[in-house]
């Protein structure tokens, strides 16, 4: 149960996953911690460019890269590479 309280659930927002019954269940099971159409982290259905996990990864990396002001292109590249290395 403790792991479930830290988990974030994602789904693709397909019409069957967007029903009131499903969203109600997700709100009870993962309150404030699910990604998808109708969730706290909005995600359009069947998005072709990024998956929800990509979205979360890039948001996390951006927070690391821009934690402090970037002054040069080389500094930006270094920070992106360092944050990508942390994800392995």
Question: How far apart are the C-alpha atoms of 41 and 37, rounded to whole Å?
Answer: 8
Question: Looking at residue 74, what is its pLDDT?
Answer: 96
Encode pLDDT of 22-34 as tens digits.
Answer: 889 988 888 888 8
Question: How far apart are the C-alpha atoms of 5 and 2, rounded to whole Å?
Answer: 5
What phi and psi values does residue 14 have, to the nearest 5 degrees? Answer: -55, 150
The low-confidence residues of the chain, meaning pLDDT below 50, are none
**Cβ(47)–Cβ(69) below 8 Å:** no
Question: How far apart are the C-alpha atoms of 65 and 84, rounded to whole Å?
Answer: 10
CA 6 to chain centre: 14
pTM above 0.85, yes or no: no
């Amino acid at each position: 149960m403790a792991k479930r309280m830290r988990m974030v659930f994602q789904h693709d927002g397909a019409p069957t996953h967007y029903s009131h019954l499903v969203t109600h269940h997700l709100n009870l099971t993962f309150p404030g911690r699910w990604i998808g159409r109708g969730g706290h982290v909005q995600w359009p259905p069947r998005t072709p460019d990024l998956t929800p996990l990509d979205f979360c990864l890039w948001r996390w990396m951006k927070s690391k890269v821009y934690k402090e002001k970037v002054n040069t292109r080389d500094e930006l590249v270094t920070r992106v590479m360092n944050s990508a290395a942390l994800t392995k």
